[in-house]
């Protein structure tokens, strides 16, 4: 899904992009945000409910914060906040435990 020229111009002006380094910085932050959202969605699927939407669901496993994980990608190094469940049995599939180099994941 390609962005329209108007959207691209708006992104450039809103983010003060004036160099290739600025573009990589924006891609890095966008990539980090997408990965963070995917990890949260993975925990939602594992628990069976979305954040703050538990309702009457009977489960002993709940969200239990996040832990930092340093990652390396083609966009450089950054930190992701990996969500965790109270029972400790949540094992993300997108970025498995102990994996730190995700350089090939972009493809």
Predicted confidence (pLDDT) per residue in 22-76, tens digit? 988 898 889 999 999 999 999 999 888 888 776 677 777 888 899 999 999 888 8
Exposure of 106 by Cβ count < 10 A (0-12 exposed, 13-18 middle, 19+ buried)?
exposed
- Answer yes or no: pTM beyond 0.85: no
pLDDT of residue 46: 86
pLDDT of residue 43: 92
Exposure of 107 by Cβ count < 10 A (0-12 exposed, 13-18 middle, 19+ buried)?
exposed
pLDDT of residue 1: 52
Name which of 24, 21, 35, 23 is nearest 70 in CA terms: 35
């Amino acid at each position: 899904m390609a962005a329209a020229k108007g959207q691209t111009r708006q992104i450039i002006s809103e983010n003060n992009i004036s160099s290739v380094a600025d573009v990589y910085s924006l891609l890095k932050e966008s990539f980090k945000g997408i990965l963070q959202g995917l990890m949260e969605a993975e925990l939602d699927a594992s628990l069976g409910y979305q954040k703050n939407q538990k309702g009457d669901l009977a489960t002993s496993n709940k969200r239990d914060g996040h832990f930092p994980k340093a990652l390396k990608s083609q966009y450089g190094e950054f930190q992701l906040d990996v969500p965790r469940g109270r029972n400790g049995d949540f094992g993300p599939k997108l970025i498995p435990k102990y994996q730190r180099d995700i350089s090939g994941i972009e493809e």
